[in-house]
Amino acid sequence: MNRMLVVVFDNEAKAYEGKQTLWQLDAEGSVSVYASSVVARNPDGSVEVKQEDPGLLGTLTGTPVGALIGLIGGPTGAAIGAAAGLAAGMFTDLDNARIGDDFIDDVQKGLVRGQAALVAEVEEDWTTPVDSRMEALGGRVFRRALSDVHDAANDEDTAAIKADLAQTKAEHAEARAERKAKLQERMNQLDSKLQARLQQAKERREAHKAAAQAKVAFLKAKAAVAHAKSP
């Protein structure tokens, strides 16, 4: 199952150890890691990106991991740390987080000032390997399966814009000359907003499709290597 994983530790050193352990589990075949990052909650409440490993995704910007880090930062945001590119771009599309608000709230409350966390997107068939290894390091594990819940919300927003545009067009057809200009301006604004929304949805679908294809290829390659090593 494709999941978001957040493991909270008392300090950065333990978070780095947790990240290394997670990739060891990947090498052992217990879990597949798509991307990971180490973040820390600063004394002022901001979340600073300390280290990132985008794995097969190439960059964390615009991915569930990058978006989740931005959400974890909350109102204070995320400080620009070692991964400046990620910190600068993580707010561009928070819909990519694809997880519920309750999970974000749990992680925000669980990661207090002075602590650090490992944030990762993984594929795991069972939770025991990660839980047992992380708990042995003193980590507290939060996980949630990725979903398309935000896609439904975006569809609703697009439908609402279309309905508003249709109503405005109907009013424009019946309006007097002095009102037509204002209604036309509103129609233009709604149409621009609709086109932008449709383009964003298209780009999001293409990005999700590309990421899904990369993940499938990655898992197939791992399976092939494991099969080759088996007696």
Q: What is the pLDDT of residue 26?
A: 92
The pLDDT of residue 179 is 77
Please state whether 48 falls in left (phi above 0), alpha (psi between -120 and 50) or beta: beta
Cα four-point dihedral sign 65, 70, 74, 79: positive
Strand (E) or helix (H) holding 48: strand 47-53
Q: Transcribe 188-206 into DSSP letters.
A: HHHHHHHHHHHHHHHHHHH
Query: What pLDDT, on the 0 to 100 scale, is given for residue 23?
Result: 93
Q: How far apart are CA 118 and CA 139, in angstroms?
A: 9
Please report where in the chains the tokens 């990519």 appear, as a residue. 96
Write down the pTM of the prediction.
0.64
Reported as half-sphere exposure (CB side, CA atoms, 13 A), residue 8 has a value of: 17
Give the closest residue to 44 by CA, choosing from 86, 6, 79, 16: 79
Give the pair of three-digit tokens for residue 127: 């939770």
Per-residue tokens: 57: 């995704």
- Among 112, 44, 113, CA closest to 77: 44
Mean pLDDT of successive 10-residue stretches along the chain, which has 231 residues = 91 96 92 91 88 63 72 54 41 50 84 94 87 94 71 62 84 82 85 82 72 73 74 67
93-55-79-204 Cα dihedral, nearest 10 degrees: 0
The answer to whether 26 touches 32, Cβ cutoff 8 Å, is yes
- Look at residue 58 in the predicted model and tell me its pLDDT: 55
